[in-house]
Amino acid sequence: MSELPIRVKVQESASQVVYTDAVLINGNPLGFVLNFGQWAPEEPGLVRIYTRVGMSPNHLKLLAQLLTQNVAAYEEKFGEMVVTEDRAAHAHRIGFDTVPPGPKPKP
């Protein structure tokens, strides 16, 4: 069975590329929502969301695999990417909570 080449047509409503430096991810057993935004430099701790994308858990895992493959290909061609600590993101817990809710440990 031969595969047809993939054709991509960018709709006019999606023709503008939006830069993002923050991604907030929320999920439940039915799916995930990726919220793409930008840190607001004039108001520390504020992220403005510009684009939201929903997908199934299966599609999110496939996206993660594709991102891993693309990073590996990039680094093979251009060298290792150096990731610096994002102090703003680290100071403000954002994204999908990977720790199940439960009683908080006593100090």
Per-residue confidence in pLDDT tens, the chain, 107 aa: 668 899 999 999 999 998 999 999 999 999 999 999 999 989 988 999 999 999 999 999 999 999 999 999 999 999 999 988 765 555 555 555 555 455 555 65
Q: Which pair of tokens denotes residue 80?
A: 């290792």
Identify the CA nearest to 35 among candidates 23, 44, 43, 47. 23
Decide: pTM greater than 0.85.
Answer: no
Q: Residue 84: its pLDDT value, please?
A: 81
Q: Does residue 31 contact residue 54 with C-beta atoms inside 8 Å?
A: yes
Angstrom distance (rounded) from CA 24 to CA 94: 6
Q: Residue 103: its pLDDT value, please?
A: 58
Q: Residue 106: its pLDDT value, please?
A: 60
Q: Residue 85: its pLDDT value, please?
A: 73
Q: Residue 60: its pLDDT value, please?
A: 96
Return all residues near 79 (Cβ < 8 A) that are at least 6 apart.
none
